[in-house]
């Protein structure tokens, strides 16, 4: 099976053709927003950190920023930094150039003599990069080049027995066709990790899945915290989910049934094709951020309560099996699989229909969040205190 994608110089395939305006730190985020607003075909992300970080947080920030630039949906990147941050623009540019040969240029606000000069130069560079990107045409690409991120947020009871199993069927279909699917949110495996681990293709992968759950709880416990304080959320409870274990049992359904071939750390790019697990936090926006940095070109996001979230780099399709949610949040929901919940269609039929819709998005159909221009980014913090 094939889709119409953008062949990149580094061998990857995108389903969008963005020029990314990337801030090294929070001090440059507003300048990046202004540049992107002046250049059609460019997108920006907000970086709310990037300086005065402990080493673990700095490493995570750099992993996410370089991963964004390397995402297949990005043609090239214009970096804007301040100049006095821990990792200034030229160093970030070097990091990006080590993992991809796509175009990248950088500017420093202090180097250029202020905001106006920096924006002026960055706008010119971005316009030229967009013009170059426009010469790249969609071509027929094998589906094996696609990696779909799988996310859930604002879950309710219909997520566990409707939307998540349907997306799990979609995941199985993609894997069977040679593509990859990535499931994240380690905290939402807790209580069901022994079930998920059975899908490990090897004993090592089985043990890794158990370990990342244990390590996550141990990390919180070392700080005197318990994951069950925030899980399930108030919205989850209102939707019928009473415990983290109950939530996890529904959550893992969205990953399908195929053998898990690799466990990767947060924001890292997989080396294998197939069903993949990423060790990431339970906050949905942070997990989407990490999966996009890991190379996912598209994200399928299940929700029972409803959510508007989107990502500037990768389209996010919102799926619900709650008919009321679909009707009341029609501005945000892309796919309605409430017929599964109400016994009007099978999980297999819903999965097949979602594959058709996913291919339409890969071929250029705009999602609801893209139409709004939503750009939700949250970089996880290893340590929140300094």
Tokens of 68: 């964004």
Confidence of residue 386 (pLDDT cuts 50, 70, 90): very low
Q: Do the beta carbons of residue 200 and residue 260 sit within 8 Å?
A: yes
Between 183 and 227, name the one with better pLDDT. Answer: 183
pTM over 0.85? The answer is: yes
- Exposed (0-12), middle (13-18) or buried (19+): which is 264, by Cβ within 10 Å? buried
**How far is the C-alpha of 49 from the C-alpha of 61, rounded, in Å?**
8
**How far is the C-alpha of 79 from the C-alpha of 125, rounded, in Å?**
10
Give the best-scoring range by mean pLDDT among 158-167, 250-259, 285-294: 285-294
Confidence of residue 176 (pLDDT cuts 50, 70, 90): very high
Q: Is the pLDDT of residue 18 over 70?
A: yes
Confidence of residue 217 (pLDDT cuts 50, 70, 90): confident
| Predicted pLDDT of residue 241 | 67
> Cis (ω within 30 of 0) for the bond into 232?
yes
Q: Is the pLDDT of residue 228 over 80?
A: no
Confidence of residue 137 (pLDDT cuts 50, 70, 90): very high
| Predicted pLDDT of residue 385 | 43
The CA-atom distances, in angstroms, between 284 and each of 128, 234, 279, 315, 347 are 35, 15, 13, 15, 24
- As a whole number, mean pLDDT of residues 70-84 equals 98
**How far is the C-alpha of 167 from the C-alpha of 183, rounded, in Å?**
11
């Amino acid at each position: 099976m094939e889709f119409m994608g953008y062949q990149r110089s580094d061998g990857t395939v995108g389903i969008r053709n963005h020029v990314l305006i990337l801030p090294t730190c929070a001090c440059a985020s507003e300048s990046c927003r202004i540049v992107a607003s002046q250049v059609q075909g460019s997108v920006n992300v907000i970086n709310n950190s990037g300086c005065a970080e402990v080493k673990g947080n700095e490493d995570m920030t750099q992993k996410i920023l370089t991963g964004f630039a390397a995402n297949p949906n990005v043609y090239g990147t214009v970096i804007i930094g301040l100049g006095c941050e821990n990792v200034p623009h030229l160093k970030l540019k070097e990091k990006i150039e080590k993992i991809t040969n796509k175009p990248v240029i950088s500017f420093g606000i202090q180097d250029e003599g202020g905001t106006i000069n920096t924006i002026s130069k960055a706008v010119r560079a971005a316009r030229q990069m967009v013009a170059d990107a426009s010469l790249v045409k969609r071509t027929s690409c094998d589906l094996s080049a696609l990696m779909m991120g799988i996310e859930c947020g604002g879950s309710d009871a219909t997520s566990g027995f409707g939307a998540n199993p349907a997306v799990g069927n979609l995941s199985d279909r993609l894997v069977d066709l040679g593509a990859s699917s990535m499931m994240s949110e380690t905290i939402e495996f807790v209580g069901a990790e022994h079930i998920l681990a059975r899908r490990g293709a090897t004993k090592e992968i089985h043990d890794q899945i158990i370990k990342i759950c244990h390590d996550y709880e141990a990390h919180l416990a070392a700080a005197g915290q318990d994951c069950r304080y925030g899980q399930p959320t108030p919205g989850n409870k209102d939707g019928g989910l009473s415990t983290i274990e109950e939530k996890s049992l529904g959550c893992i359904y969205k990953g399908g049934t195929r053998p898990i071939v690799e466990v990767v750390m947060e924001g890292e790019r997989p080396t294998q094709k197939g069903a993949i697990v990423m060790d990431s936090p339970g906050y949905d926006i942070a997990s989407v951020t990490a999966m996009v940095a890991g190379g996912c070109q598209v994200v399928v996001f299940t929700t029972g309560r409803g959510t508007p979230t989107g990502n500037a780099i990768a389209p996010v399709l919102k799926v619900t099996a709650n008919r009321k949610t679909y009707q009341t949040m029609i501005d945000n929901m892309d796919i309605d699989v409430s017929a599964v919940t109400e016994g009007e269609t099978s999980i297999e039929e819903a999965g097949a229909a979602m594959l058709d819709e996913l291919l339409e998005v890969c071929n250029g159909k705009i999602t609801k969040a893209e139409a709004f221009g939503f750009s939700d980014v949250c970089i996880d913090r290893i340590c929140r205190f300094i």
